[in-house]
Amino acid sequence: MKRIAGFILVALFAATGASAQFTRISASDFGSNPAKVAALKRAVTRMKERNTRARNTADFRQSWTYWANTHGYFGTGPNSSGSAQAFKAQANSICSGLSGVMFSRCVSYYDHVTNYSLPSDGGITAKVWGMCQHSDPSGTAATANMHFFTWHRMYLKYFERPVRKFSGDPQFALPYWDYYDNLGPQNGIALPVMMRGSASTNTLVDTFRTPGLNTNVTSIDPTNGDATEAFDFTTFRPFSFSLENQPHGLMHCGTGFGCQAPDIGIVPVAGLDPVFYMHHANIDRLFQCWLVRKANGATINLAWAKANLGMNQAWFDQVWNFVNENGQPVSMKVSQLFEPGGIDYVYDKVTNCVETPPAPPVNEAPQPASARVDVANAFPIALEGATTSVPLAPPTGEGPGDRPLPEGVEVERGHTVLLLEDVRIEGGNPGVTYRINIGRRGDTRREYVASISWFGVLHSHHQDADTPRGRRLLFYDVTDELARLGNPPHGEIDVTFEPTRHTTEESPQPSASAGTVRVGRIRLQTAD
C-alpha cells in the first residue's frame, strides 16, 4: 500500500501553456490560514441564504441547494433519482445492517431528504440538475461511463466560481482533502479540522456524517483513502474505474455512515455536505497526478490526450451544461479540458502521489470462517459478515493464460490480475463492506489489495433504491502483492474477505436481516 503524498511547486497545467490564475492547496494548509477559512465560511453562508430565493431566478441558481442538485436530486425531472418518499421508505431496509442506537440514528438521517421540481426558467435547470456521471454499479471497466473525471472536473470548476464570488477573496480556490494530512483515533483518516464541530456553529459541518467524525472520536479506516490499485493501471479506462471505487467511493462511505444514509453517503444528496467538494478536489488532483505520470514530461494537450487516453472522438465532443457565478447558463466540451484556458487552476502537489498510508494499531489477525471454498468446483461464495478465506485451486486444463482478459481489463504484459466475477448483494443492506487480502496458503502473512465500495450500489443514481444491486466484475492488479509474497504458484493463493464498517473502531456484527454478498467466481490471470 502507498499513500497520497509528495509535492511539487509548479503549475498543474504548465505543460499545456495555459495561464493558471488560482492554486488549490490542501485542506490542512488552507485551514491553517484563518482568513481563508473565514472566506470559505462566508461563501457557504451566502450561498445557503439563497436557498429560499424564487426558484426561477438567477439568484436561486447561485444557491447551495442548486449546486447540490446539480450533482443529484430527488423529485420530478428528467435526471432525478426518483421520489424522496420512495427513497425514505427504504430507510429500515438500508440501515438493517446496524442495530440499537446506530440503527435509529441511521434511519433518522433520512428525515430531511425532500423532493424538488424543476423551476420554470426556460429549460436552464432541466439541462443542469442531476447530471453527475458515475459508472453503473452493475457494470465493468468495459461498460463504465468514462466521464466520471471529466464531468466532475467541470462541476468543480464552475462551482468554485460562485464560492469565490461570495467569499470576498478574488484569489479563492477550493482546498482539497489530502486524506492522510490529519490522523484521528487509531491512525485513521480524520476530517480536516475546519470541517469539524457542530452545524449550529460551523457552516462547514454537515450533521449527517458517520457518527463520531465531526467530534473526532472516530476516524475512517486508513485503507479507504488508498489509491494504490488505481495507480497500478497505466491505461485510462481501468484507472478511472478503479479510482472511482477506491478511494472515491470508499471515502464517500467512510464519511457517510457506510453509504447507508444521506448526505455524502448517497449519490443524489452527496453535494449537500461541504466536505464533498474537498473530497472531489482531491480526486481531481489524483486524476491530474496520473496524467502527469503518464505524460512523463510530454505536453498534456488535446493532441496528447487523443493519442494516449484511448477514447474516441465522441468522448471528446461530449458537452456538459452548468451555470456560472451569476447563475447564467454555460456549457463546456470535454476537449476544452485539454486546451489552453480550459482550466484556470493548478494544484500545489501533483507528483509522487502514491505512498504507504499510516497503519492502525496491530490487532490479532481475525480467524477465517470455517467453510473454505475451492472456487474450481464450488461457487458462488457467500459473505455474511464473517472473515472468509477462499483457497484458489490449481488450474485444471484452464491455466491463467488460456483465455483472454475480460473486455476493459487492461494491464501490462506479464502482470497478474485478481478477478471477482458476478459480485452482487442479495436481500437487504449487508451492513459491512469487505477488505480483500491475498496470502500464501499456510502462511499467516497477508497482503492488502483493496476494499469493495458500495457507493452508488445500495442506492443507484437515477434508479429506485430497491433496484437489483451488483452483478459486476471487479478486478485488481496484484503483481506487486504477489511479488511481496514470493510469487507463489496461483494454486497456493488464498483470497480473504475481511468485513469492515469503514471506521477504525471495532465493528459489531450485522443484524440477522442484513443482506448477503455473493461472489460468483474468483480467479487469477496473467496478461500475455
Count how many domains the chain has.
Answer: 2
Residue 93 domain-assigned (yes or no): no
268 and 339 part of one domain: yes
256 and 321 part of one domain: yes
Residue 434 domain-assigned (yes or no): yes
pLDDT at 405: 81
pLDDT at 409: 87
pLDDT at 260: 87
Instruction: Answer for the pair 514, 429: CB distance below 8 angstroms, yes or no.
Output: yes
Nearest to 308, CA basis, from 213, 237, 370, 363: 237
Residue 462 domain-assigned (yes or no): yes
Q: Domain boundary at 298, 327, 347, which?
A: 347
Assigned C-alpha cell, 434:
469487505
CATH of the domain at 33: 1.10.1280.10
280 and 429 part of one domain: no
140 and 252 part of one domain: yes
The stretches of 82-134 forming alpha helices (DSSP H) are: 84-88, 91-94, 100-108
Which helix H or strand E contains 418, and what residues bound it?
strand 416-426
389 and 343 part of one domain: no
500 and 410 part of one domain: yes
Residue 189 domain-assigned (yes or no): yes
pLDDT at 404: 77
- The DSSP string of 190-201 is PPPGGG-S-TTT
pLDDT at 396: 58
What residues make up the domain containing 209? 14-56+132-347
240 and 325 part of one domain: yes
Q: Domain boundary at 332, 347, 362, which?
A: 347
CA–CA separation, 15 vs 338, rounded Å?
10
Residue 375 domain-assigned (yes or no): no
Q: What is the pTM of this model?
A: 0.90
> What digits encode the pLDDT tens for the residues 115-158?
999 999 999 999 999 999 998 766 676 666 789 999 999 999 99
414 and 479 part of one domain: yes
Residue 362 domain-assigned (yes or no): no
514 to 107, 348, 421, 452: CA distances (angstroms): 15, 44, 22, 17
CA–CA separation, 187 vs 358, rounded Å?
6
Residue 366 domain-assigned (yes or no): no
Nearest to 350, CA basis, from 406, 284, 396, 413: 284
Residue 248 domain-assigned (yes or no): yes
Stretches in the chain below the pLDDT threshold 50:
1-18, 363-377, 399-401, 462-468, 507-510, 512
185 and 266 part of one domain: yes
